[in-house]
Amino acid sequence: MEKTLVILKPSCLQRGLVGEVTKRFERKGLRLAGMKMCQLTDEQMSEHYAHLADKPFFQQLKDSMMITPVVVCCYEGVGAVEVVRQMTGATCGRKAAPGTIRGDFSMSFQENIIHTSDSLENAAVELKRFFKDGEIFDYTLPTQQFLYAADEV
Ligand code: UDP
Ligand code: MG
């Protein structure tokens, strides 16, 4: 099954939305495979947002991710990368569709509550960036047979 990275950004913690956001992934049926609080570093953020290095807001964006600790999460499910991305919504909270996390909880481009991996390939790279060996756990949900048909998994 696919694994994907979710970062509960400082805006999520400061706004008191950790429960609201994780509740959505939980109710959806994604399996929580890893979760920890950490203080991100400039080096990690330069790597993580390398695709935005030429943008004028690059340093401001990195700083916004380091202003408080964050919570990094690994969720697993069939097609989890796309499912989580759809639940996240468009990058700018003002444009994100109602019903999505950003659409429901954010008014901002930068302060948009969560980061989520945008492809299976990037998910693997990003999970390695934020989780050490032994911090992602394999266990079976007792509800598994009611989450998926036998031929879906
Ligand atoms: N971002 C921003 N202004 C922009 C584009 C991006 O502040 O014009 C921030 C925003 O916090 C976003 C992050 O940079 O979540 C990474 O941008 P990306 O294009 O990868 O968007 P995402 O994958 O998070 O939707
Ligand atoms: Mg992105």
Mean pLDDT, contiguous 10-residue spans, the chain (153 residues): 98 98 98 98 98 98 98 98 98 98 98 98 98 97 96 96
Share of the chain above pLDDT 70, in %: 100
Q: Which residue has its alpha carbon closest to ligand 1 atom 13? A: 110
Please identify every residue annotated as catalytic. Answer: 115
Query: What's the helix, strand, coil split of the chain in %, to 5?
Result: 45, 20, 40
Check residue 20 and give its pLDDT: 98
Q: Is the pTM of this model over 0.75?
A: yes
pLDDT in tens, 34-56: 999 999 999 999 999 999 999 99
> In degrees rounded to 5, what are phi and psi of residue 69?
-60, 165
CA angle 126, 146, 34 (to 5 degrees): 25
Beta bridge partners of 77: 2
Pocket test for ligand 1, best of 87, 91, 125 (most atoms within 8 A of CB): 91
Output DSSP code: residue 52.
Answer: G
Q: Ligand 1 site: residues with CB under 6 angstroms?
A: 49, 52, 57, 61, 91, 109-110, 112, 115, 118
CA of 105 to the centre of ligand 1 (A): 16
